[in-house]
Amino acid sequence: MRDRKRILALLLFLGAGPALATAQSAKPDPCEKATNQAEMNDCYGREYQKDDARLNRVYHKAMDYLQHDLAQAATDQALKQSAQTAVEDLKAAELAWIKYRDLQCEAAGHQYEGGTMQSMIHSICMCMVTEHRIDEIKQAYENGDRKLE
C-alpha cells in the first residue's frame, strides 16, 4: 500500500513538472528577488493592483464598444434591445465574477490562516483569477479592429 502511494506521488510529481515549467516560463515571477515573506507579501500585493488596473481598462474598453453599439442602434429597436442586453449582461457577469474571485481567493488564503504566507497566497490567487478574467473578456469582445489593449 505504501509503495502504491509513493508511485502515485511520483507520477503526480513527474506529470506536474512539465506543466509547472511551462507556466513558469510563460510569465516570469516578478517577485523572485524578494528576500523575505514581508517583501513577497508586498510584491504580490502590488502585482495584483497592476492586474486589477489592467482588468479595469479592458473591461471599460469592452463596455465602451458595447455602449457605442447601443448608440449606433438608436433607430433599430431590435438592435437597440440586443445592444442593451449585451451591456446589462456584461455588467451582471462582472459583478458575479467579482463575487467568485473574492470567494475563491479567500478560500485559497484560508489554507494558511494565521500564517505569514496568507496574504501572499491570497494575492497570487487574485492575480491568477484576474488574468484569466482579462483573457475571457478579450476572447469574448475583441474582434477585427476592436482591440481591448
Question: Looking at residue 111, which CATH number applies to its domain?
Answer: 1.20.1270.180
| Domain presence at residue 16 | no
Confidence band for 12, pLDDT divided at 50, 70 and 90? very low
Q: Considering the chain, what is the average pLDDT of its residues?
A: 86
d(CA 133, CA 100): 11
Task: Read off the pTM.
Answer: 0.79
Does pLDDT of 4 surpass 50? no
Q: Is the pLDDT of residue 30 over 80?
A: yes
User: Is the per-residue pLDDT at 16 higher than 80?
Assistant: no
Q: At what angle do helices 37-72 and 118-141 cross, to 10 degrees?
A: 20
Q: Look at residue 72 and tell me if it is in a domain.
A: yes
Q: 103 with 113: CB under 8 angstroms?
A: no
Report yes or no on 90 lying in a domain: yes
Do the beta carbons of residue 74 and residue 80 sit within 8 Å?
A: yes
**DSSP structure string for 45-111:** HHHHHHHHHHHHHHHHHHHHHHHHHHHHTTT-HHHHHHHHHHHHHHHHHHHHHHHHHHHHHHHHHHT
Q: Is residue 95 part of a domain?
A: yes
Q: Which three cell numbers stand for residue 122?
A: 491570497
Residue 20 falls inside a structural domain:
no
Lowest average pLDDT, out of 21-35, 52-66, 67-81, 113-127, goes to 21-35
| Residue 28 per-residue DSSP state | -
Number of domains in the chain: 1
Tell me the pLDDT tens digit for each residue of 35-59. 999 999 999 999 999 999 999 999 9
What mean pLDDT is predicted for residues 119-140? 98
Domain of residue 71, residue span: 37-141
Mapped onto helix, strand or coil, the DSSP state of residue 146 is strand
